[in-house]
């Protein structure tokens, strides 16, 4: 008789852990504009920290009347996964102590990460930086707002163009270990109207990288298949159509989008 085959322990994915684990609230993040709770989640011996944003804690927004912020955050994660760039921490919809909401893996901030944003004197961004626009900094003075010429930010700029992010601030960029960079806070995305409001205008009008073109082609196909079906559960039909149209427009122009007004739409304050 041969020895019984050993069954390797089933590995739990982070998404499963976040969706199925037991959620314990540890505290509330004070500076947030909506209810953002820091939690522990435990499942089959694994424990991680996450943020839990219950739908019940969302402030209604007149220009985003449909769906919930939580659903848009999950939709953004799904698009990020389809790009293969992994720009958004794992995010799921689930029930919790304050009802349905989104749960997102907590990213421990990396101290001393590279500077991503700066205000500089003069008209030129300088080596390694991209210009965003001029900003009033008080007492009648202006400074040039710049962001790093960083390929991770450039990918995020493409993701934001696809999801139509209306709020990409500096504080929503989280440098993490192993050279990773995550974007967070994607509640105001996927509007059917153009609402791109971001700091990452540095590549506006420039040609997309070949890598970005490849990713957008993949997204176009995915939006016609399983990704489209999944997003259809999270955003409206009109928003899904607009997402497909944005991907098609990016592929047609082959360029990073440009601000529609004379001034770039920048969230203020930028951090
Ligand atoms: N996944 C995360 N990992 C680490 N910190 C986070 C995460 N999500 C949120 N935070 C922290 O919580 C703050 C508030 O979250 P945010 O998503 O910006 O909420 P709001 O929708 O209220 O603006 C963020 O500025 C950030 O400091
Ligand atoms: Mg925020």
**pLDDT tens-place values along the chain, 271 residues long:** 566 666 666 678 999 999 999 999 999 998 888 899 999 999 988 999 999 999 999 998 988 988 999 999 999 999 999 999 999 999 999 999 999 999 999 999 887 666 898 888 888 888 999 999 888 778 888 889 999 999 999 999 999 999 999 999 988 999 998 889 999 999 999 999 999 999 999 999 999 999 999 999 999 999 999 999 999 999 999 999 999 999 999 999 999 999 887 667 888 776 7
- Does residue 101 sit in the same domain as residue 124? no
Q: Are residues 134 and 239 in the same domain?
A: yes
User: 125 lies in a domain?
Assistant: yes
The ligand that comes nearest to the alpha carbon of residue 91 is 1
- Given 63, 83, 105, which residue is the final one in a domain? 105
Q: Ligand 1 pocket: which residues have CB below 6 Å?
A: 29, 32-34, 36, 51, 89, 104-107, 171, 174, 184-185, 187
Ligand nearest to the CA of 173: 1
Say if 177 falls within a structural domain: yes
The rounded Å distance from CA 217 to ligand 1 centre is: 31
CA gap 34, 28 in Å, rounded: 10
Same domain, 100 and 196: no
Looking from the CA of residue 106, the nearest atom of ligand 1 is 3
- How many structural domains does the chain have? 2
Domain match, 98 and 190 both? no
Ligand nearest to the CA of 183: 1
Domain that holds residue 73: 14-105
Angle at 133 between CA 130 and CA 136, to 5 degrees: 135
Q: Which of 41, 76, 105 is the last residue of a domain?
A: 105
pLDDT at 178: 87
Nearest CA to ligand 1 atom 2: 106
Ligand nearest to C-alpha 103: 1
Q: Last residue of some domain: 56, 85, 105?
A: 105
Report how far residue 158's alpha carbon sits from residue 139's, in angstroms, rounded to the nearest whole number: 35
Residue 134 lies in a domain: yes
> Is 202 a domain residue?
yes
Ligand 1 centre from 270 Cα, in Å? 15
Among 51, 87, 188, the mutation site with the greatest number of ligand 1 atoms within 8 A of its Cβ is 51
Quote the CA–CA distance of 82 and 221 in Å, as a whole number: 10
241 and 123 share a domain? Answer: yes
Same domain, 192 and 236: yes
- Tokens 């390929």 identify what position? 151
| 264 assigned to some structural domain | no
User: Which residues touch 229 (CB under 8 Å, ≥6 apart)?
Assistant: none
> Cα–chain-centroid distance for residue 12?
24
Q: What is the DSSP letter of 207?
A: B
Closest CA to ligand 1's atom 16: 185
Let me know: does 231 contact 255? Beta carbons within 8 Å.
no
End-to-end Cα distance, the chain: 67
Distance, in Å, from the CA atom of 131 to the CA atom of 202, rounded to the nearest integer, reads 5
Distance of CA 230 to the CA centre of its chain: 17
The ligand 1 atom at the shortest distance from the C-alpha of residue 187 is 21
- Same domain, residue pair 97 and 125: no
Residues 66 and 186 in one domain: no
48, 92: one domain: yes
- 128 and 245 in a single domain? The answer is yes
Q: How far is the CA of 33 from the centre of ligand 2 (A)?
A: 6
Residue indicated by tokens 């449909």? 66
In a domain, 150, yes or no: yes
- Within a domain: 216: yes
Residues 230 and 150 in one domain: yes
Q: Does residue 127 sit in the same domain as residue 95?
A: no
Domain annotation covers residue 259: no
Pocket test for ligand 1, best of 32, 86, 176 (most atoms within 8 A of CB): 32
Q: Report the nearest atom of ligand 1 relative to the CA of 32.
A: 22
The tokens of 69 are what? 């912020």
**pTM for the structure as a whole:** 0.94
- Helical segments of the chain, H only: 14-20, 69-83, 151-163, 210-223, 226-232, 237-253
């Amino acid at each position: 008789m041969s020895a019984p085959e050993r069954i390797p322990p089933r590995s739990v994915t982070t998404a499963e852990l976040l969706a199925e684990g037991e959620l314990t609230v540890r505290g509330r993040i004070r500076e947030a504009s909506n209810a953002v709770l820091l939690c522990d989640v435990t499942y089959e011996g694994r424990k991680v920290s996450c943020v839990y944003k219950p739908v019940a804690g969302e402030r209604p927004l007149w220009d985003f009347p449909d769906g919930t912020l939580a659903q848009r955050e999950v939709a953004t994660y799904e698009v990020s996964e389809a790009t293969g760039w992994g720009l958004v921490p794992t995010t799921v919809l689930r029930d919790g102590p304050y009802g349905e909401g989104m749960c997102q893996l907590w990213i421990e901030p990396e101290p001393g990460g590279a500077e991503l944003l700066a205000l500089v004197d003069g008209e030129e961004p300088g080596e390694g930086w991209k210009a965003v626009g001029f900003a009033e900094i008080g007492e009648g003075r202006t400074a040039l707002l710049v962001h790093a010429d960083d390929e991770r930010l450039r990918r995020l700029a493409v993701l934001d163009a696809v999801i139509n992010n209306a709020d990409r601030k500096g504080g929503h960029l989280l440098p993490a270990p192993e050279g990773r960079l995550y974007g967070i806070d994607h509640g105001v995305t996927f509007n059917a109207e153009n609402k791109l409001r971001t700091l990452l205008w540095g590549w506006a009008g420039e040609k997309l990288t070949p890598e970005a073109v490849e990713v957008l082609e993949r997204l176009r196909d995915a939006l016609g298949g399983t990704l489209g079906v999944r997003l259809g559960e999270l955003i409206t039909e009109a928003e899904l159509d607009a997402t497909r149209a944005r991907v098609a427009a990016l592929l047609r122009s082959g360029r990073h989008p440009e601000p529609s007004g004379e001034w770039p739409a920048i969230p203020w304050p930028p951090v």
